[in-house]
Structure 1
Amino acid sequence: MSEVHIHKHEVKSKNLFFSILLNVIITIAQVVGGIISGSLALISDALHNFSDVLSLVFSLIAHKLSRKKASIDYTFGYKRAELIAAFVNASTLVIVALFLIYGAIGRFLNPHPIQSGLVIWLALLGIIVNGLSVILLQKDAQHNINMKSAYLHLLTDMMASVAVLIGGLLMKFYGWFWVDSVMTIAIAIYLIVVGVKLLITSTKMLMLFTPEHIDIKEIVREVHKIPGVNKLHHIHVWHLNDEELHLEAHLDCSADIKMSEFNTLLHEVEQILFQKFHINHINIQPEFRKEDPKDFIVQD
């Protein structure tokens, strides 16, 4: 397998660790405050924060595992651990959201008086804590799906705290206690939207689906322009993780060339695939008039 070395963004696990500490503090504060004030929105936000703490811990463990070196028993190392973390985190977003909707409907049908002052102050605390956590992970989230899943958890927490704050103000000045349930449902719907999107993305990666930005037919057209290439076939393209895009294929040569000549041909293929498609791990099986299926995609 050939590998084109690229500059990799170094994800900082200490930012994730600080975010975990901040979320533990806000979770405890919101649980206590929600029980005292009687606010379901505050308790639901605390539940969401607690799920975030678990998700952030899972993300941190997955991040540490992904950095472990490959071995004879684990030839890829644990590089796909972060994809599993992203999948689990996305799933918890959706599950928590469904529980919140169930509870909010019951509270909407039977609204209770709520101590809005405590709700307002804890919502402000949630905005500050989650906002700081979002800033800490924002850069890493642009380069890593595991960090993106953690970032989305925190971003939705901040949005939820804003919604709780608005609800607290409306309850304080207008006595609209039903707003607590409405805000809870709004938070839950947003959780489902972002959770499902991340769930689909992580599932596609885990299933080794062809990345959405990759056009296999375009890859074939570009490789076939190289002198000495007869046909590229039996193609697989997949993400090992966020940083590594793999391709394996059979390459039927137009002439019975020496291995040294094939090395030169392979180098040209590697450069085309990396420069135009950002594929940095390539495994090519050389062939010359071999009797096998020549379709682009072959069922193994």
Structure 2
Amino acid sequence: MSHSNGHNHKHHHHNDLRGRNLIISIFLNIAITVAQVVGGLISGSLSLLSDALHNFSDVLSLIISYIANKLTKKRASIKKTFGYKRAEILAAFINATTLIVIAVLLIVEAIERFQNPQAIESNLVIWLSLIAILGNGFSVLLLKKDSEANMNMKSAYLHLITDMMASVAVLIGGLLMKYFQMFWVDSFLTFLIALYLVWMGYDLLKNSIKVLMLFTPDSIPIQKIVDEINMFEAIKNVHHVHVWQLNEEEIHLEAHIDFNNNITLSEFDIILHEIEDLVFNKYDINHVNIQPEFGKDDAKEVIVQD
């Protein structure tokens, strides 16, 4: 017999506002990308083209984030008992992966161009980088609030903020090329932009993989929780424990509990609610599934290999 709570679910949905902000950011970045591709080809600037490529990745990441945001609204069904609650985590994983792949391509291209620097039309680079800074800056402001509490929105936000910083670097490079003819700086800045993308993407990739692999969240001390539940007078042993993060808003705890006596269902319900309150108030675990046992012959270790 298992029992799970239905009163401790936390919901912080601002999906409509998120969707609107994402749409605005998508169209802004499409315009910036087109302008930078045309400008990069005309001027011969690799850093401008690399910024355009990064902006294009922004467009893709924002579209993925928008689709994931919409999917999370879909209701659960017989075939999809959790619905699409993990869509945003999957989007964060895809976005982080694309960041790193694009960065590696840019590093290769920057090294090749560094060996053969070319003259560049710096005026076009300066004006287009200014436009990109303004456009990405506005998008960053739109997504900042939601990025603080949502991994999917954070992935989109990171794409945008890194691109804004890259555009600032391209602007500086354009000024150096215009006034000091330092054309090698174009490749150097491309290399730095790429390294920054790897650094930003790796952390997000690592966190999204942890969630997808059902790893215990870093903030959850399983042994301490087990010790606290074991202190309940009626409980003999807590074992076969699983804790995982389903999405941004749900942390699940599943465990078997061996009781000292053959208690009634109503007595179990009272203890269950006490456990729910304990783990919710102290550890933000908002979905509890307990299998009560009495004298059952099974493995009693905290972690049992299924």
Q: Specify if TM > 0.5.
A: yes
- The answer to whether the aligner puts 1:295 opposite 2:298 as a matched pair is no
Correspondence for 1:45: 51
> Which of 40, 45, 66 is the matching residue for 2:72?
66
- Paired residue type of 2:9: H
Correspondence for 1:152: 158
- Paired residue type of 2:5: S
- Paired residue type of 1:150: A
The equivalences for 1:262-277 within 5 A come to 262-277=268-283
3-state SS of paired residue (1:295): coil
Correspondence for 1:30: 36
Compute the RMSD of aligned alpha carbons: 0.9
> Which of 228, 237, 242 is the matching residue for 2:243?
237
CA separation in 2, counterparts of 1:232 and 1:277?
17
Correspondence for 2:253: 247
CA separation in 2, counterparts of 1:108 and 1:90?
27
1:230/1:252 contact within 8 Å kept = yes
CA separation in 1, counterparts of 2:268 and 2:5?
13
> Which of 5, 17, 22 is the matching residue for 1:2?
5
- Structure 1 residue 9 displacement after superposition: 4.1
CA separation in 2, counterparts of 1:23 and 1:215?
42
Q: TM-score, normalised by structure 1?
A: 0.98
- Structure 1 residue 222 displacement after superposition: 1.6
Number of equivalenced pairs:
300
CA separation in 2, counterparts of 1:245 and 1:48?
34
CA separation in 1, counterparts of 2:237 and 2:22?
47
3-state SS of paired residue (1:243): coil
CA separation in 2, counterparts of 1:15 and 1:222?
43
2:129/2:167 contact within 8 Å kept = yes
CA separation in 2, counterparts of 1:245 and 1:225?
23
- The answer to whether the aligner puts 1:256 opposite 2:252 as a matched pair is no
- Paired residue type of 1:299: Q
- The answer to whether the aligner puts 1:117 opposite 2:123 as a matched pair is yes
CA separation in 1, counterparts of 2:42 and 2:11?
51
> Which of 112, 130, 138 is the matching residue for 1:106?
112
1:30/1:122 contact within 8 Å kept = yes
C-alpha distance after superposition, 1:219-240 (max 9, x if no partner): 1122122221211110000011
1:55/1:89 contact within 8 Å kept = yes
Q: TM-score, normalised by structure 2?
A: 0.96
> Which of 201, 208, 214 is the matching residue for 1:202?
208
- Paired residue type of 1:108: F
2:217/2:244 contact within 8 Å kept = yes
CA separation in 1, counterparts of 2:122 and 2:300?
69
1:9/1:143 contact within 8 Å kept = no
1:236/1:247 contact within 8 Å kept = yes
CA separation in 2, counterparts of 1:275 and 1:231?
22
- Structure 1 residue 254 displacement after superposition: 1.9
CA separation in 1, counterparts of 2:255 and 2:215?
15
Which runs of no fewer than 5 residues in structure 2 stay unpaired? Answer: none
* Percent of paired sites with the same residue: 60
The equivalences for 1:167-178 within 5 A come to 167-178=173-184
3-state SS of paired residue (2:173): helix
